[in-house]
Amino acid sequence: MSFRIAIDTGGTFTDAISVNSASKLITAKAPTTPKDLKLGTINAIEALARLNGLGLREFLSQVTTIVHGTTLGTNTILTRSGPRIGIIASEGHADVIRLRRVPKAELYNWRMPQPEPLVERYLCVEVEERIGSRGEIVKPLNEASVRKAVARLRKLRAESIVVALLWSFLHPDHERRVGEIIREEHPEADVTLSHEIWPALGEHERTSTAVISAYIAPAIRNYTLELEALLEQEGFEGQLLFMQNNGGVQTPEIALQKPATLALSGPAAGPAAALGVGRPHRERNLLSVDMGGTSFDIAIIHKDAFLTKTESLVGEQRFSLPVIDIDSLGAGGGSIAWFDATGTLRVGPKSAGSDPGPACYGAGGEEATTTDANVVLGYISPDYFLGGEMPLRKELAEKAVRGKVAGRLGVSVPQAAAAIYRVANSLMANAVSTAFAKRGFDPRDFLLVAGGAATPTCALELAQELGIRRVAIPKYAPIYCAFGMLGVDLRHDFARFYHTVAEYLDLDHVRHLYGEMEAEALAIMAKEEIPEKQRRLVPNMRVKYFGQFRDIEVSLPEGPITEASIEKGLAAFHVKHKDVFGYSDPDYPVEYMGFGLSAIGKIPPVRLKRRADGSRSAAGALKGHRDAYFEESGGFVKTKVYDGDQLSPGAVLEGPCIVEERMTNVVVPPTFELRVDGHGNYLTA
């Protein structure tokens, strides 16, 4: 028997899933261990081994692939626990990391401070050199100035040095030579060259992205090497892969060369999970939502395609590598209810996390959280949390809600819990509405896929508030991102800057740029031992109408770059522009802003067995009844409780009812109806 497993490290729990060669899936959770993330990872794998009836060593010896998504990079930025970084910049440009374009929560509030950079001003030094905007050498590199700059940074105890010179992505020789000198003069320091991280226009964005890569590099390196050693010690001889920002996976060797690709690794697999749920039902437009312990992640899939972006924030720092376009909100099961200065009830973004966690965990938490509210409302059974492995204390949840919310509002404990539930739902609905408005889509045209352990308790209420009629709650919602990782391909993105108007496009130069990128891509895929038959090279280009500020990325036909393939790319640009902005004009002049290449290594998909429909009646899965609170019914009502593992495909669930899965609870309010599909997912009838 062989296994493929996926591990997703989150804020509260580390999620795990295994699938064996007979297509049997097993899921598990373990508390995340923030002080040493690999312990939570190993604990989750141990739980999978136990549920598969094996010891850890015996289990790992049969595992062929481990796909791992981690929040380590994001956490390092948020906690500012990275190394002391120095920057070497072109003469006169030491302040590029401070003269920045970073959005603020209150854009026109000049009193509001800008985000603090990850590099102190005194650690930003200059060297004499200058590359021009066409890639020409305006001023040769003065190596004496470089050695002087490195000596200064060494004296100031810089542990890592970022080299970010003007226009280096057009002519990288100066950056490369500076890197060589750093290794000669300060061999203890890590070196990051900006043109190797993001070779594109945008001086601040390129520098900031390189700084992020350097800042998270030690944590990523230490974690990766320690985890590899620990897994090998326990008998693992298969392939370890890491989830990237762009929705693909890569080997540890490649990840260590470019740590920035893991900066937003955590939620990137959610959209892949949504596609897996929607595809059997021929749904091409999907809204993926993932409510876990600390956050609520929103992603839009339009016509089977992930939305991606190259402008994002990690913490408050500008980041320009390709990432899955995900909006995150501080609203999860551990989100704390509180009152603002006006006396208005708010929920999140502060979270109780995994330590101490919600009050009902009995680990010392005293704040009222969304999970506490769900326990009070009867949506979560204190005796069946994580399948009964982690009993909850309802009296502590009631105490927290009473002391922190009910007294302030002057209402009963259940009414206060309902208020927390309602506020959290409204917060999430507003975030979804904003996400759709920004991208020009209507949420009513999409299937809502409710991932995350906490989302099934509120998915139908959320859909109702948004006017969405079609909802799917995956059987594996509690380990949503981990489930998505099982079917993700290896992927690497490359880019080259080339700005010109359409009439002056030099096709030979474009072919040269693609030749460079293809050589890089094939070298990486060879290192990752991807068979030639499983390799795909997908070209793309970035285009905008003349005079526009923002460009759009469109794919080109695979194969040689020709005038015909460029024309097909332009046609796709006009179609996409109309989809996104509501208009297009094929007769209007366009500007090319760059060309790119996605190297994809196909991984065999996981084939899940589909069960044939059985009885429409859910009576055989009835576990009993309990009181649950529904405002539309006037308060607590006697509610049917079903065992999710006993429901047959085709079964119909009429609200009000609750379905207890081992790691989540599907709450079906009155007037709603769900049916079970052949994979155990719950869909609106």
Whichever domain contains 186, its CATH number is 3.40.1360
Q: Does residue 188 sit within a domain? A: yes
60 domain-assigned:
yes
| pLDDT at residue number 104 | 63
- The residue among 181, 215, 249 that closes a domain is 215
Are the CB atoms for 684 and 470 separated by under 8 Å? yes
58, 107: one domain? no
Angle between helices 413-439 and 394-401 (to 10 degrees): 80
Extended beta strands in 205-322, E state: 239-243, 249-250, 286-291, 296-302, 305-306, 308-309, 312-314, 317-319
φ, ψ for residue 464, nearest 5 deg: -60, -40
Indicate whether 344 belongs to any domain. no
Question: Is position 307 within any domain?
Answer: no
Residues 6+ apart with CB under 8 A from 136: 171
* 72 and 87 belong to one structural domain: no
Residue 426: count of CB within 10 angstroms of its CB = 14
CB 6 within 8 A of CB 68: yes
Amino acid type, 193: L
pLDDT at 511: 97
Q: Same structural domain for residues 123 and 146?
A: yes
3-state class of 168 per DSSP? coil
Domain residue limits at 641: 619-684
Q: Do 149 and 62 lie in a common domain?
A: no
93 shares its domain with 200? yes
Backbone angles phi, psi at 633, to 5 degrees: -100, 5
CA 197 from centroid of its chain's CA atoms: 19
Q: What is the pLDDT of residues 252-271, one digit of tens each?
A: 999 999 999 999 887 888 99
Mean pLDDT score, 117-125 = 95
Q: Which of 233, 262, 291 is the last residue of a domain?
A: 262
Residue 418 has pLDDT above 80, yes or no: yes
The pLDDT of residue 438 is above 90: no
The total of other beta-carbon atoms located within 10 Å of residue 69's CB is 29
| Coil vs helix vs strand at 197 | helix
Closest CA to 91 of 137, 142, 126, 121: 126
Domain assignment present for residue 411? The answer is no
Domain shared by 150 and 46, yes or no: no
Number of Cα atoms under 13 Å in the Cβ half of residue 460: 22
Average pLDDT over residues 221-231: 95
Residue 412 lies in a domain: no
Quickly tell me which residue has 């119909």 as its tokens.
Answer: 652
Residue 536 shares a structural domain with residue 653: no
Residues 133 and 209 in one domain: yes
Which tens digit of pLDDT belongs to each residue from 343-396? 999 998 888 877 788 999 999 999 999 999 999 999 999 999 988 888 999 999
pLDDT tens for each residue of 552-577:
999 999 999 999 999 999 999 999 99
Q: How high is the pLDDT of residue 105?
A: 62
Q: Find the helix packing angle between 563-581 and 507-527, rounded to 10°.
A: 80
Q: Per residue in 524-547, pLDDT tens? A: 999 998 999 999 999 999 999 999
| CA–CA gap between residue 211 and residue 115 (Å, rounded) | 14
Per-residue pLDDT of 202-221, as tens digits, reads 899 999 999 999 999 999 99
Domain boundary among 198, 232, 262: 262
Predicted confidence at residue 101, as pLDDT, reads: 67
Q: Note the pLDDT of residue 522.
A: 95
Which residues have a Cβ under 8 Å from the Cβ of 411 and sit 6 or more positions away? 419
Cα 539 from Cα 357, distance rounded (Å): 46
Is residue 667 pLDDT above 90, yes or no? yes
Do 320 and 309 meet the contact criterion of CB atoms below 8 Å apart? no
> Which of 175-184, 204-213, 351-360, 580-589 has the lowest average pLDDT?
351-360
pLDDT at 102: 58
The Cα 685–Cα 668 span in angstroms is: 12
Q: Verify that 95 and 208 share a domain, yes or no.
A: yes
Greatest CA span in the chain, whole angstroms?
A: 82
Say if residue 250 is in the same domain as residue 162: no
User: How many domains is the chain partitioned into structurally?
Assistant: 4
199 shares a domain with 100: yes
Q: Residue 297 — very low, low, confident or very high, per pLDDT cuts 50/70/90?
A: very high
Asked if 156 and 70 sit in the same domain, the reply is: no
Cα 603 to Cα 184: distance, rounded to the nearest angstrom: 41
Give 550's Cβ-side CA count (13 Å radius).
Answer: 8
In a domain, residue 484? The reply is no
Which pair of structure tokens corresponds to residue 175? 């950056």
The tokens of 249 are what? 């996976």
| 129 has a pLDDT exceeding 80 | yes
Q: Share the mean pLDDT of the chain.
A: 92
Q: Is the pLDDT of residue 615 over 90?
A: no
Neighbouring-strand partners of residue 434: none
pLDDT of 318 > 90? The answer is: no
Comparing 426 with 616, the larger pLDDT belongs to 426
